């Protein structure tokens, strides 16, 4: 599961996974990503 998260731009900090919204979002076609 960690490799999957890393591929999508998540970074592990201590025991938490952090997602940086400033990164380019790599979303697969079957997921819809909306940013407000």
For 4-29, how does the pLDDT look when each residue is reduced to its tens digit (9 = 90+)? 777 766 777 777 776 666 656 565 55
Q: What pLDDT, on a 0 to 100 scale, did the predictor assign at position 15?
A: 77
Dihedral, CA of residue 24, residue 34, residue 15 and residue 8, to nearest 10:
-40
CA dist., res. 36 & res. 29, Å (int): 19
Q: What is the per-residue pLDDT for 27? A: 56
Domain borders along the chain are: 1-35
The model's pTM is 0.26
Does residue 2 sit in helix, strand or coil?
helix
Residue 25 pLDDT: 59
Let me know how many helices (H) and strands (E) the chain has, helices first.
Answer: 1, 2
Token pair 């790599």 is found at 26
């Amino acid at each position: 599961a960690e490799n999957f998260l890393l591929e999508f731009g998540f970074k592990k900090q201590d025991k938490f996974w952090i997602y940086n919204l400033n990164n380019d979002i790599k979303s697969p076609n079957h997921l819809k990503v909306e940013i407000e």
